Amino acid sequence: MKLITISVPAYNEEAMIQSLYQRVVEVMDKVSVNYQFELLFINDGSKDGTLAEIENLRENDERVSVVDLSRNYGKEIAMAAGFDYAKGDALVTMDADLQHPPEVILKMLELWELGYEDVYAKRNHREGERFLKKATSKCYYKILQKLSRIPVLPDAGDFRLLDRRAIDALRNLRETQRYTKGLYNWIGFKKN
C-alpha cells in the first residue's frame, strides 16, 4: 500500500479546514484499496482558529497531522516545511481554500503510476479573476521567462504531485527566498 501525503499550507483558513478535509476524504476513499493518505497541514502562523480546527480533526482521525510554524513565514516556506515532514511515497501540495479541486488528485495518481515524477495541474481558465489580473499574470510569466534560464511553466500553479525522488531533491535546496515554481523545473524530473 502506497502512502500519499497531502500537504496543505494554511494561513487564516479556519472556515475552509473542515470542508477541505471532507473533500479530501471523499476523494481518497475512492482509491483506498491502493493508497493510504496523510493530510499534513502546515499552519503558517494563523491568527484565527485554523490550528484549533486542525486539532479538532486530528482528535478524530489519525491521518491528519500538523506542523505549527512559530509565525507567518509565507506560503513558500510553509510548503518547504511540508516537503520536510512528508512521509509519503508521493506528495500532493494544494491550497487550503479549495481553489485546487481535490478530485484532480485521482488523475495525478494515474499519471504518477505511469512513471511521471512531477505532475502539475494547469488551470483551464482563471476562474473568478478579473481581466487585469489575467493580463498582468500573463505579462509576469513572459518577463520571467526572458530573465530566467530555468523555464517556469505559465499557469502551472502549486497544485502538484511530486514523487519521493523529487521531494528529496527539493529538500536539498535550502533557499530561504524560495520560488518553488522555479525549483520544480530546476530539479528536472519527468513531468506531465
List binders of ligand UDP among 10-69 (CB under 6 A): 10-11, 13, 44
Angle subtended by helix axes 164-171 and 180-187, to nearest 10:
120
Q: How many CB atoms lie within 10 A of CB 71?
A: 6
Is 120 within 8 Å of 191 (Cβ atoms)?
A: yes
- 117 binds, options ligand UDP, Mg ion, none, Cβ within 5 to 8 A by partner type: none
Of the residues 72, 137, 185, 192, which one makes contact with ligand UDP according to CB under 6 A? 72
Q: Is there a contact between 74 and 42 (Cβ–Cβ < 8 Å)?
A: no
Decide whether 116 or 120 has the Cβ nearer to ligand UDP.
Answer: 120
Supply the minimum distance, in Å, between the C-beta of residue 170 and ligand UDP.
Answer: 17
Question: Binding pattern to ligand UDP, positions 87-106, x when CB under 6 A?
Answer: --------xxx-x-------
CB neighbour list of residue 174: distance below 8 Å, 6 or more residues apart:
none
Site string for Mg ion, 83-122 (x = CB under 5 A): --------------x-x-----------------------
Residues forming beta bridges with residue 122, ordered by sequence position: 156
C-alpha cell at 26: 471523499
Tell me which of ligand UDP, Mg ion, none is bound by residue 13, counting a contact when its beta carbon lies within the kind-specific cut-off of 5 to 8 angstroms: ligand UDP
